[in-house]
Structure 1
Amino acid sequence: MADTIEKDVTRGGQFLVKETKSEDIFTPEDFSEEQLMMKQMVKEFVDKEIWPNKNRFENKDYAFTEECMKKAGELGLLGVAVPEEYGGLGMGFVSTMLVCDYISGATGSFSTAFGAHTGIGTMPITLYGTEEQKQKYVPKLASGEWFGAYCLTEPGAGSDANSGKTKAVLSEDGTHYKITGQKMWISNAGFCSVFIVFARIGDDKNITGFIVENDPSNGISMNEEEHKLGIRASSTRQVFFSDTKVPVENMLSERGNGFKIAMNALNVGRIKLGAACLDAQRRVTTGAVKYANERIQFNTAISNFGAIRSKIAEMATSCYAGESASYRAAKSVEDRIEARVAEGVSHQEAELKGVEEFAIECSILKVAISEDVQNCADEGIQIFGGMGFSEDTPMESAWRDARIARIYEGTNEINRMLSVGMLVKKAMKGHVDLLGPAMKVQEELMGIPDFNTPDYSELFAEEKEIIGKLKKVFLMVAGAAVQKYGPDLDSHQQLLMAASDILIEIYMAESVILRTEKLAKSKGQENVKEQIAMAQLYLYKAVDIVNSKGKEGIASFSEGDEQRMMLMGLKRFTKYTNLPNMVALRETIASKLIEENEYCF
């Protein structure tokens, strides 16, 4: 069974050592009729129910957030990923990503409430619960009759989630546990019906998960709502448990399995968080374009100024790249799930393993897109100028809401280190062959460079060759680092961060090149010249980042002849034969956006 799965479906992290063809990836242009209808429904919901009431979210109207969540439940949006037998729509992973994507166009407050409920509030029961637990809780969560929250973080246990002090003590008669402890930053706490709570039984090495109904008379109390920089109408409270009784049958999965539940929930949360930043970027970009077309200075619209056009082009490019990578990864996960189901594995187990397999890509997307949405909102403020700093325009709230995305679901620093660490572990287990390709790169460094000019007549011929070279940079840097530090590599965090930035740019740049190549094959190059320009622009910037981070990494662990050889290799692997005209590329992209008066890709 396992052999069949390995042959048919690419493994997580293999993008680094395995050539991917454009026809083998999924793109937003491949949405089915059903998915396009779902996309339209979500957009209409956001435009009708959320955007006209944006001020209510900014004024901390928590009751309105709950009201909108109930409406989302009535439309079936809360149950997209829930199997039909538990009251959901039972849609595939790509469709669940699509809903997360377009819900993000609402506000940070609502999309946070939505993501916390559908993801970490519902999913642990769906994936780890017993049949009785799923029948009891999931239909209510899928319909919006009940809302869920996730209690993991504690004052002393943030990134180190398994160090929580909350205790669960079995009663003398063995019928229930008494949970005592404090949880903080709990999204949806103010209106949730059920908590997923993590606590430690005795001196167990790992924490255990419990399903806890929200009953104030059962030793559950809360602080007032937190006052936050952004996501202001997302209910966020500290929750206290004092001898809270939980029936033994409400233990989630097995004793000591809580840390695994928490980590797998975060993997799903990370890839969906990446998607949940996309429509926010589209709407910020559209808002900036409209304002630039309307704002007159020096007797002309500011959209005619090169400095503004450059910003608009960069904003659109980062969003297009994020879309490309998100849906590529989502389909990889979906294919993995379907392959396991076809082999007789339960859907519950298949989904767990499918997402876990692509944990590296989940972390990559979380980091890349959460930073892109912040940069996009920042440039949106800049295009609006002084007005961008005012609460009368949507830019300042977009910037505030975007800031949290770099923190939750594991900080971007943690996720950067995780992505490289997980890849190294996969290599050690034989799941991804890094050693062979890394040795070939070392041999290439010792050899004589090929000075022949290759044929770049086909679209993206040079770009795809450059992607291959960027992969060699990662193999060179990471391979040498592993050789030098071995199991102590984890303690060299700045080196891991540099290597991770290289890994991120490889996946994002390759995704946008492959999507655009596929698009050009189906529609013709002349009809997608703006997308081609975005792909080329993104890659150019990626090469610069890889070059910079490569130098940083190499200098941190090498010296003398070894360092000189690796720096020469870095120069060779980040060199263009035909350097693209960045100004012309940005102009091509911006002209289309300004003409259409919106993000239009």
Structure 2
Amino acid sequence: MSTETTTKEILRGGQFLVKETNCEDIFTPEDFSEEQKMMRDSVIEFNDREIVANRDRFEAKDYALTQEVMTKAGEMGFLGVAVPEAYGGLGMGFISTMIVCEYISSGSGSFSTAFGAHTGIGTMPITLYGTEAQKQKYVPKLATGEWFGAYCLTEPGAGSDANSGKTTATLSEDGKSYKINGQKMWISNAGFCKLFIVFARIENDKNITGFIVENNPSNGITLGEEEHKLGIRASSTRQVFFNDTVVPVENMLSERGNGFKIAMNALNIGRIKLAAACLDSQRRITTNALKYATERKQFKTAIVDFGAIKSKLAEMATSLYAGEAASYRAAKNIEDRIALRMAAGNSHQEAELKGVEEYAIECSILKVAVSEDVQNCSDEGIQIFGGMGFSEETPMEAAWRDARIARIYEGTNEINRMLSVGLLIKKAMKGHVDLLGPATAVGNELMGIPSFDIPDYSELLSEEKEMVAKLKKVFLMVAGSAVQKYGPALDEHQMLLLAASNILIEIYLAESAILRTEKNAKRFGEAAQKEQIAMSKLYLYNAVDTVIKNGKEAIVSMAEGDEQRMMLMGLKRFTKYTNQPNVVELRNIIADKLKAENKYCF
């Protein structure tokens, strides 16, 4: 893709809220190249053979199996997909890394965690922040699975407040090394890793500093016992203690005091990758629930034919379809932004860091939305299985337990909700996203007389696209009023930020689903997209309800009198359908297709 084309087509992070996106300009899973499809199929085969087939061993806390399968993944090249070829990786694009992460993560949450910790926060900080000497020394071993990596950030008193860690790094008298002292907890891969990325504070620095630390027990490194967890049971999770651990000065990662920045940027990448890691899990859960519902008979009828079950299956499929659409939409934006920067002369490191950082808002949105969708999907999967779903004999209870951690990983969903709105406002203040102009226009519209003309909705999904545009007005109305009212103190009003973020999330997911369907209907024909059209309409219908609830909560909490009445009237105007969809019919269309294919098939 040329730089000129890319510049024309991709919006900056957060601009989806204030600029229209054409369906032709988004990337969908239906756009995968032949190379990407081959990689996907290779990963699916590996996952089925090495991970799904050994589900019982993973659930029995077989940590050795996790390490063994990680080694095999390294031999297949899966650990080095995102690593440049110069350092022993495959050097593939961002979408390809998403595909591998998605399809390798659904067999076991334990393996998914080990894989994500190693490839993301274990390897990428060195790839993106390391010196040439550090990259040459460590990255090839990590990319091939000769060594495994772990990431030591969290401490007993420093979880969401990552920069408050107490671990110290003290420079030696000869200036050749640091001594690290402190305690880290919840360290994934600690039991079998050869290398730690450790964050510690030098003297009284405001920000922490990153270090590359080889795991050598004779160098003052000891491990706690394996943690016994709700899920991800075969993921090695231990405390790590550093007692005068000597680290050469050349193993400082990036600059002194840059550790917090490294941690935050690693989390941006981790957030969108975590969304990807949840997608195929949803796909497998939906398919398993569907097959059980087809075989299970009650009152001489397969339960898949009961409306209550059809409703669940339709909603499970719909949330996955929207999450998948949004994840790959954002992934392509990131890939294109990286290409733009490299074409402009940026190094691979700088291009990837800035490319992902540009879409930090979308990364937070996706992390929240998809992690909650996979939890809901697994919960409904248990319900469809009934009593059997509660048994370890079926895959549902393990899927439910493993899904629970996704809402805590990579910054809790509460942190990410507030972050998405906070980052958007900061972008507006920097002039990267024009919120003031559109918010002012919405305010003027509220003061004017509404149009009573009946719109022409003859084009496919035209009413749905207009509804998304109106939902954006709700966000601008709520967020604009909140910024005006509270200014810099808005951070202190967390409940308000949570409500605003819920609106923002639904806008991005609903729009992504609609654009995906519109694009595919144009090239494959509307008849071929009948069920996808139904899912897009159903997702939007649910999104409108969420926006109404959160919009009302925000308005009545911060406005009074005439202002409150005017905003509530605006909320009603901006969430009103001209033609309400028949929700039961939409669910039936989706569920009937699922039944006919006997698997998630979209």
**Distance in structure 1 (CA, Å) of the matches to 2:576 and 2:155:** 48
- SS state at 2:107 partner: coil
- SS state at 2:210 partner: strand
Name the structure 2 match of 1:286: 287
What is the CA deviation profile of residues 189-221 of structure 1, one whole-angstrom value per residue up to 9, with x for unaligned ones?
Answer: 000000000000000000000000000000000
What is the identity, as a one-letter code, of the residue corresponding to 1:92? G
- SS state at 1:149 partner: strand
**Distance in structure 1 (CA, Å) of the matches to 2:381 and 2:501:** 28
The answer to whether the Cα contact below 8 Å between 1:427 and 1:433 also exists between their aligned partners in 2 is: yes
Name the structure 1 match of 2:234: 233
Name the structure 2 match of 1:346: 347
What is the identity, as a one-letter code, of the residue corresponding to 1:513? I
**Distance in structure 2 (CA, Å) of the matches to 1:13 and 1:557:** 24
* Shift, 1:9, TM fit: 3.5
What is the identity, as a one-letter code, of the residue corresponding to 2:130? G
**2:575 maps to 1:574:** yes
* Shift, 1:8, TM fit: 5.8
Name the structure 2 match of 1:70: 71
**Distance in structure 1 (CA, Å) of the matches to 2:420 and 2:64:** 38
Name the structure 1 match of 2:51: 50
- RMSD of the TM alignment (CA)? 1.0
**Distance in structure 2 (CA, Å) of the matches to 1:47 and 1:155:** 37
The answer to whether the Cα contact below 8 Å between 1:162 and 1:259 also exists between their aligned partners in 2 is: yes
What is the CA deviation profile of residues 517-575 of structure 1, one whole-angstrom value per residue up to 9, with x for unaligned ones?
Answer: 00100111111100110000000000000011000001111000000000000000000
- SS state at 1:237 partner: strand
Name the structure 2 match of 1:472: 473
* Shift, 1:140, TM fit: 0.3
**2:113 maps to 1:112:** yes
The answer to whether the Cα contact below 8 Å between 2:58 and 2:234 also exists between their aligned partners in 1 is: yes
Identity in percent:
79
What is the CA deviation profile of residues 464-503 of structure 1, one whole-angstrom value per residue up to 9, with x for unaligned ones?
Answer: 0000000000000000000000000000000000000000
**2:281 maps to 1:296:** no
**Distance in structure 1 (CA, Å) of the matches to 2:556 and 2:161:** 30
- SS state at 2:70 partner: helix
The answer to whether the Cα contact below 8 Å between 1:5 and 1:340 also exists between their aligned partners in 2 is: no
What is the CA deviation profile of residues 235-278 of structure 1, one whole-angstrom value per residue up to 9, with x for unaligned ones?
Answer: 00000000000000000000000000000000000010001000
**2:223 maps to 1:248:** no
- SS state at 2:475 partner: helix
Name the structure 2 match of 1:530: 531
The answer to whether the Cα contact below 8 Å between 1:127 and 1:348 also exists between their aligned partners in 2 is: yes
- SS state at 1:156 partner: coil
**Distance in structure 1 (CA, Å) of the matches to 2:241 and 2:199:** 13
**Distance in structure 1 (CA, Å) of the matches to 2:7 and 2:526:** 35
Name the structure 2 match of 1:561: 562
**2:399 maps to 1:434:** no
What is the identity, as a one-letter code, of the residue corresponding to 1:84? E
What is the identity, as a one-letter code, of the residue corresponding to 1:396? E
**Distance in structure 1 (CA, Å) of the matches to 2:397 and 2:13:** 37
**Distance in structure 1 (CA, Å) of the matches to 2:578 and 2:5:** 41
**Distance in structure 2 (CA, Å) of the matches to 1:158 and 1:58:** 27
What is the identity, as a one-letter code, of the residue corresponding to 1:600? C
Name the structure 1 match of 2:517: 516
**Distance in structure 2 (CA, Å) of the matches to 1:232 and 1:4:** 47
- SS state at 1:453 partner: coil
- SS state at 1:542 partner: helix
What is the identity, as a one-letter code, of the residue corresponding to 2:51? I
What is the identity, as a one-letter code, of the residue corresponding to 1:129? G
**2:185 maps to 1:192:** no
Distance 1:190-1:19 versus aligned 2 partners, 3 A rule: same
What is the identity, as a one-letter code, of the residue corresponding to 1:25? I
Name the structure 1 match of 2:464: 463
- SS state at 1:274 partner: helix
The answer to whether the Cα contact below 8 Å between 2:471 and 2:547 also exists between their aligned partners in 1 is: yes
What is the CA deviation profile of residues 121-174 of structure 1, one whole-angstrom value per residue up to 9, with x for unaligned ones?
Answer: 000000000000000000000000000000000000000000000000000011
What is the identity, as a one-letter code, of the residue corresponding to 2:432? H
**Distance in structure 2 (CA, Å) of the matches to 1:181 and 1:7:** 50
* Shift, 1:105, TM fit: 1.5
Name the structure 2 match of 1:126: 127
What is the identity, as a one-letter code, of the residue corresponding to 1:140? K
Name the structure 2 match of 1:183: 184
- SS state at 1:122 partner: helix
- SS state at 1:210 partner: strand
**Distance in structure 2 (CA, Å) of the matches to 1:318 and 1:524:** 23
271-280 or 8-17, larger mean C-alpha shift: 8-17
- SS state at 1:543 partner: helix
**Distance in structure 2 (CA, Å) of the matches to 1:504 and 1:290:** 31
**Distance in structure 2 (CA, Å) of the matches to 1:538 and 1:494:** 24
Distance 1:8-1:529 versus aligned 2 partners, 3 A rule: closer
* Shift, 1:6, TM fit: 6.4
Name the structure 2 match of 1:99: 100
- SS state at 1:580 partner: coil
- SS state at 1:178 partner: strand
- SS state at 1:243 partner: strand
Name the structure 2 match of 1:212: 213
- SS state at 2:201 partner: strand
The answer to whether the Cα contact below 8 Å between 2:170 and 2:203 also exists between their aligned partners in 1 is: yes
**Distance in structure 2 (CA, Å) of the matches to 1:500 and 1:541:** 16
**Distance in structure 2 (CA, Å) of the matches to 1:400 and 1:486:** 41
334-343 or 102-111, larger mean C-alpha shift: 102-111
The answer to whether the Cα contact below 8 Å between 2:287 and 2:600 also exists between their aligned partners in 1 is: yes
- SS state at 2:351 partner: helix
The answer to whether the Cα contact below 8 Å between 2:10 and 2:25 also exists between their aligned partners in 1 is: no
What is the identity, as a one-letter code, of the residue corresponding to 2:15? Q
The answer to whether the Cα contact below 8 Å between 1:9 and 1:339 also exists between their aligned partners in 2 is: no
The answer to whether the Cα contact below 8 Å between 1:81 and 1:88 also exists between their aligned partners in 2 is: yes
* Shift, 1:67, TM fit: 0.2
Name the structure 2 match of 1:385: 386
**Distance in structure 2 (CA, Å) of the matches to 1:84 and 1:462:** 47
Name the structure 2 match of 1:506: 507
* Shift, 1:4, TM fit: 11
**2:348 maps to 1:356:** no
**2:246 maps to 1:224:** no
Say how many residue pairs are matched.
Answer: 600
What is the CA deviation profile of residues 378-424 of structure 1, one whole-angstrom value per residue up to 9, with x for unaligned ones?
Answer: 00000000000000000000000000000010000000000000000
What is the CA deviation profile of residues 567-594 of structure 1, one whole-angstrom value per residue up to 9, with x for unaligned ones?
Answer: 0000000000000000000000000101
**Distance in structure 2 (CA, Å) of the matches to 1:297 and 1:449:** 52
Distance 1:467-1:8 versus aligned 2 partners, 3 A rule: closer
**Distance in structure 2 (CA, Å) of the matches to 1:372 and 1:532:** 20
**Distance in structure 1 (CA, Å) of the matches to 2:7 and 2:533:** 33
Name the structure 1 match of 2:325: 324
Gaps of 5+ in 2: none
**Structure 2 counterparts to residues 11-30 of structure 1, below 5 A:** 11-30=12-31
What is the CA deviation profile of residues 87-115 of structure 1, one whole-angstrom value per residue up to 9, with x for unaligned ones?
Answer: 00000001101111111221100011000
**Distance in structure 2 (CA, Å) of the matches to 1:279 and 1:198:** 32
**Distance in structure 2 (CA, Å) of the matches to 1:228 and 1:48:** 25
The answer to whether the Cα contact below 8 Å between 2:6 and 2:336 also exists between their aligned partners in 1 is: no
**Distance in structure 1 (CA, Å) of the matches to 2:11 and 2:147:** 38
**2:80 maps to 1:79:** yes
What is the identity, as a one-letter code, of the residue corresponding to 1:114? F
What is the identity, as a one-letter code, of the residue corresponding to 2:183? Q
What is the identity, as a one-letter code, of the residue corresponding to 2:291? K
Name the structure 2 match of 1:172: 173
**Distance in structure 2 (CA, Å) of the matches to 1:11 and 1:519:** 24
**Distance in structure 2 (CA, Å) of the matches to 1:6 and 1:80:** 26
Name the structure 1 match of 2:150: 149
Distance 1:5-1:207 versus aligned 2 partners, 3 A rule: farther
The answer to whether the Cα contact below 8 Å between 2:152 and 2:197 also exists between their aligned partners in 1 is: yes
**Distance in structure 2 (CA, Å) of the matches to 1:26 and 1:4:** 14
Name the structure 2 match of 1:593: 594
**Distance in structure 1 (CA, Å) of the matches to 2:307 and 2:504:** 32
- SS state at 1:91 partner: coil
